[in-house]
Structure 1
Amino acid sequence: MKTTPTPRPQSPQTPARLTKSDFVTALRKLLQEAEKAGKTSVDVRAAALHTDVGIYPARGHSMPTCCTVMYEEMKPGDEILVTPPGGKGPSLLVQYKLPR
């Protein structure tokens, strides 16, 4: 009697590291869409932005990069609504004023 080997369960792979550019592109697109919809501001939470760009939470996530981009894209009039401990984390919430 011939038996076939049972496949070993594969460990979850670490997703490819997301780049700063990935987050800049996604955030700017989100802001443009909100502006086209006639909104005067949009609240962006880091966890939601990261999830839009790539898997979060996951091993090897890029939350620090996501938060850095959110801070760097701020302009006069924008407001930080929630600052996580340490300044960078999924609860970071920024209100971006529109139009940009």
Structure 2
Amino acid sequence: MPSIDKFPQELRDQLDRATKRRAQNIVINSGELHRAVGDYPGLNQCLHSCCDVMKAEMITGDAIIGDPENSQAAALTIRYQLPRPDKTEAAQERKPALQVELPHHST
């Protein structure tokens, strides 16, 4: 089982790399973040903790993309705005997650 301490570090690393590339935002999926940390998919997965870490990083302007029903599953996808404020500013900006529903396309 991966240490839950690794999720925030990997998330911050991905945000930092995107900021260095001067991206305006980054879209991160919980299943992909968990794979980067390890043990996903598998018997020792900690997907719930991974999703909690991703949601805790959200600030004003960030958005959950897709189906809000899957906000604790591998389908959780969040668009984070960049650059991120420093930790003091971010603590003041924390807010409940904004849900964004994508239109369903018929096949």
* TM-score bucket of the superposed structures, by smaller chain: 0.7 to 0.9
8 Å CA contact 2:18–2:26 kept in 1: the answer is: yes
Normalised by the length of structure 1, the TM-score is 0.78
Does 1:22 pair with 2:6?
yes
Please, what is the CA RMSD of the aligned residues? Answer: 1.3
Name whichever of 35-44 and 53-62 sits farther off. 53-62
Identify the residue that residue 45 of structure 1 maps to in structure 2. Answer: 29
How many residues are paired up?
A: 84
Q: Which runs of 5+ in 1 are unaligned?
A: 1-16
Q: Which has the higher helix share?
A: 2
Q: TM-score, normalised by structure 2?
A: 0.74
Identity of aligned residues (%): 32
Q: Which has the larger radius of gyration?
A: 1
Q: Does 1:91 align with 2:68?
A: no
**What is the CA deviation profile of residues 33-62 of structure 1, one whole-angstrom value per residue up to 9, with x for unaligned ones?**
000001000000001000000121100200
In the other structure, the counterpart of 1:75 is 59
- Pick from 50, 59, 62 the counterpart of residue 46 of structure 2: 62
